[in-house]
Amino acid sequence: MSDPQDHSSHPGPAEYVQIGAILAVATGIEVALYYADAGPITIPALLFLTLIKFSLVVFWFMHLRFDSRLFRRLFFVGVVAALVLYTATVSTFYFGP
């Protein structure tokens, strides 16, 4: 297990700024897609861009990529539980009695 106080493997300020720029560009593309009305690919493209932004913040800014695996498990248990909760709620609402 990595030392939680060892920050040598973390990215530096220059890399953080690059990630910030990617996040800004991805948001710009999302807004452009909203106005462009690209038909059936709009929603998948928006969700894909959201996933990229989500991953960049979680893995780089929150250091999940470099930290203990236990933190990764804690976080993704929450994410999966949220998805299960969402699926169950929507299913109950639409397919229930």
CB 84 to other proteins: min, Å? 9
Tell me: does residue 68 bind other proteins (CB under 8 A).
yes
CB atoms within 10 A of CB 53: 17
Rounded CA separation 65/68 (Å): 8
Site of interaction with other proteins (CB under 8 A): 1, 4-5, 7, 10, 12-13, 16-17, 19-20, 23-24, 27, 30-31, 33-35, 42-43, 46-47, 49-50, 53-54, 57-58, 60-62, 68, 70-71, 74-75, 77-79, 81-83, 85-86, 89-90, 93
